[in-house]
Each structure stands twice: as C-alpha cells, then as structure tokens.
Amino acid sequence: MRALALLLTVLFVLPAAAQEPPHRLTVTGEGQVAQPPDMAVLTLGVTTEAKEPARAMDAASAATAGILDTLAAAGLADTDVQTGELTLSPIRSSASTTEGERITGFRATNIVTAKLRDLDRLGAVLGAVLDAGANTFRGLRFDLQDPAPARDEARRRAVADAMHKAELFADAAGLTLGPVLEFNESPGSGRPEMMRAAAAAPVPVAEGEVTISAEVTMVFQITGP
C-alpha cells in the first residue's frame, strides 16, 4: 500500500511539473523599405451651385464629363478612374428672418479619383483637368503600382530585427534562446506610408519616396544558464 501511494504521488506530480509554462522572451521587430513612387493618385472634381437642384447637378455632371474625357485623352484607363463622391445639398441663408433659415440654392459636388501611372505627365494632366473645369482639388498622393516586393522585404527586415534583439537580450542576460512560441504581425503592417502633396499645374511636384513599414512581435522560449 505504501508503494502504491508513493507511485500515485509521483504520477500526480510529474504531469504538474511537465505543464509548467516555459520562460518567455517577447521582442518587437521593425523593418522599413523606401523607394521612389511610380504612380500618382489624384482626387479632384467639380462643385457647382444653382437655384434649382436639377440645374446644379446638371452643371456638375457636364463639367465632370469634360474632366473624364480629358483623363481618357491623357491615356488613363477606365479602370483607373472612379467616382468617389457625388453629393447634392441645399444652400441655406445665414440671414435671420422671422421664418428662420431658408434655402437659397443647391450645391452639387462630383469628385473622381484617378490613378496616373506616368509621373512624367503629372503636371500636364493636372493643368488639363483644371482647364476642363475642375474647381475642387482634394489632394495628390504618391503610391506604388506593385508594393508586394517592398512589403516582403520590409517584413524580412522586421523579422531579422526581432531575431537580432532576441539574441542580443538573451546573450546579455546569460540565457539560452529557444524556439519561437508565438509570432504576430501588427495590424496595418506592410501598408505604404503614402506621401501626400497638394499642387496645381504648372507648379512642380516633388515625388520623394514611398515608405513601407512592417512590425512583428515574436515570443521565444528561454532557459537559464
């Protein structure tokens, strides 16, 4: 009976010891890749006002049609041009009356987003769409047509940075670095940090660089000396 009791005690103790969580080291690695952009994204359109809503919308539509024709003539594909905003709102009088505010007209806005893949023509295209009637400019940003290679390299650099930190910390603390227990990529990691600029032709636009950043968190098992 004593031997059986001792055996049961060992069987209960061993699993508990085996389930003890390992010591862990958590590190964060970062990586960045910067390269010149090869695409510009224009956000612009038309805003018109009229006494009647239909006239305001018709004027905006006619001007937008001219802008779309200009972009097509500049060589932009239909798939690179998209309507991003189409609104019609009343214009209210700010003058105080016994009846309160009153509607004095209507404002129509039509905004399109266009991808220009030939940056050498950026100034010319901006000037052309302004001449075609664009009077609302929401901005210009630079991007990469294919960000995948730069994104992959940024992730490699982030992992290498995390590995370097883990090895450095373990060596400095006199610990032995074990296998990776967890691996996570931060939300939003790998997305281009798009440079933005505001310009009107023929003012030159500085393209600069587009930076893609990646961040990973790695958890390693560690053991003492």
Answer yes or no: do 139 and 60 share one domain.
yes
Q: pLDDT, tens digit, for every residue of 9-26?
A: 444 444 544 556 779 999
* 58 and 89 fall within a common domain: yes
What is the total count of domains within the chain? 2
128 plus 199 within the same structural domain: no
CATH number at residue 159: 3.30.110.170
Confidence label for 197 from pLDDT (cuts 50, 70 and 90): very low
Q: Is residue 7 part of a domain?
A: no
Task: Clarify whether residues 112 and 56 are in a common domain.
Answer: yes
CATH number at residue 113: 3.30.70.2970
Helices 122-131/53-73 angle, 10° precision: 150
Q: Are residues 61 and 116 in the same domain?
A: yes
Chosen domain end from 116, 143, 170: 143
Q: Does the residue 117 lie in any domain? A: yes
Lowest mean pLDDT among 36-40, 100-104, 150-154: 100-104
Rounded distance between C-alpha atoms, residue 168 and residue 125, angstroms? 52
Which residue from 122, 136, 148 is spatially nearest to 205, judged by alpha carbons? 122
Which residues are CB-neighbours of 7 under 8 A, at least 6 positions away? none
> In percent, how much of the chain has pLDDT > 70?
80
The residue-averaged pLDDT of 151-168 equals 96
Residue 159, SS3 per DSSP: helix
Residue 192's pLDDT is what?
66
Same domain, 171 and 121: no
- 154 and 179 share one domain: yes
Sign for the pseudo-dihedral over CA of 215, 216, 217, 223 = negative
| pLDDT at residue 51 greater than cutoff 80 | yes
71 and 31 within one domain: no
Global pTM reads 0.70
Burial 61-88 (b: 16+ CB within 10 A, else e): eebbeebbebbeeeebeeeebeeeeeee
User: Are residues 56 and 126 located together in one domain of the fold?
Assistant: yes
Pick the more confident residue, 187 or 202: 187
- Verify that 57 and 121 share a domain, yes or no: yes
Instruction: Indicate the pLDDT class of residue 190, thresholds 50, 70 and 90.
Output: low
Residues 180 and 118 in one domain: no
Residue 161 confidence class, pLDDT cut points 50, 70, 90: very high
State mean pLDDT over 145-167.
Answer: 96
If asked whether residues 157 and 210 sit together in one domain, one would say yes
Q: What pLDDT was estimated at residue 96?
A: 57
Cα distance between residue 146 and residue 143, in whole Å: 9
Q: State the burial class of residue 28 (Cβ atoms within 10 Å of its Cβ: 0-12, 13-18, 19+).
A: middle
Residue that wins the pLDDT comparison between 37 and 13: 37
Final residue belonging to a domain, choices 106, 126, 143 = 143
Q: Which of 143, 173, 203 delimits the end of a domain?
A: 143
Domain range for residue 70?
39-143
Average pLDDT over residues 157-167: 97
